[in-house]
A = this chain, B = another copy of it.
Amino acid sequence: MDLAHVIRNIPDFPKPGIQFKDITTLLLEPNAFRQVIDTWYERYRARAIDAIVAIDARGFVFGGALAYALGVPLALARKKGKLPGETLAESFELEYGTDTVEIHADAVQPGQRVVVMDDLLATGGTAAAVTRLVRRLGGEVVEAAFVIELPPLQGRKALDGIPVHTLVSFMVD
């Protein structure tokens, strides 16, 4: 199945000029969702992954399903103030201002081989910050995986050498 056909484009969301790529329509198609998870299941089972770090909040859907399928630990990277335990934080630049992402201090063990996962790779700021968090905990980011990539936003460059795996690309910014 061509996943591009089950991802909905919403013009001008969340603000004028943005073409928002909506994965909720993909989630309503069990065959499409299964294709996403099974592709990554085969890929990461072969690479001896120890854990998945899923990014708040749509990343939780994909990370939850994949962690279940692989039988590996799932860690959550969340927006500031959402995680209740002891956390590490990393900030990153937005178009206007900065944002902060956090992870629990016990979420990743030293030496673990980790996949960082979200629905969409845009500028890559969040995923790069999450990668820094994983490394501060002693983990190795083996790959960052996203359903969708927007190549014009150059997210791979922000991820600075970390292997990136994406399933569908749209040439929009």
Contact = CB atoms under 8 A, between A and B. Distances in A.
Number of copies: 2
Between A14, A64, A67, A82, the greatest number of chain B beta carbons within 10 A of the residue's beta carbon is seen for A64
Per DSSP, are chain A's interface residues mostly helix, strand or loop, or mixed?
A: mixed
Contacts of A76: 24, 27, 58, 61
A135 B122 CA distance: 35
28 contacts: A8-B85, A10-B84, A10-B85, A14-B81, A20-B84, A24-B76, A24-B107, A25-B106, A27-B67, A27-B73, A27-B74, A27-B75, A28-B73, A28-B74, A28-B75, A28-B107, A30-B67, A30-B72, A33-B74, A34-B71, A57-B57, A57-B60, A57-B82, A58-B60, A58-B76, A60-B61, A61-B76, A68-B68
Contact of A68 (B33, B71, B106): B33
A106 B25 CA distance: 9
A137 interface: no
A75 B24 contact: yes
Give the bracket for the number of chain A residues in contact with chain B: 35 or more
A85 B30 contact: no
Nearest to A82: B57
Interface of A: 8, 10, 13-14, 20, 22, 24-25, 27-30, 33-34, 37, 54, 56-58, 60-65, 67-69, 71-76, 78, 81-85, 104, 106-107
Contacts of A24: 75-76, 83, 85, 104, 107
A62 B76 CA distance: 13
A27 B81 CA distance: 19
A29 B67 CA distance: 10
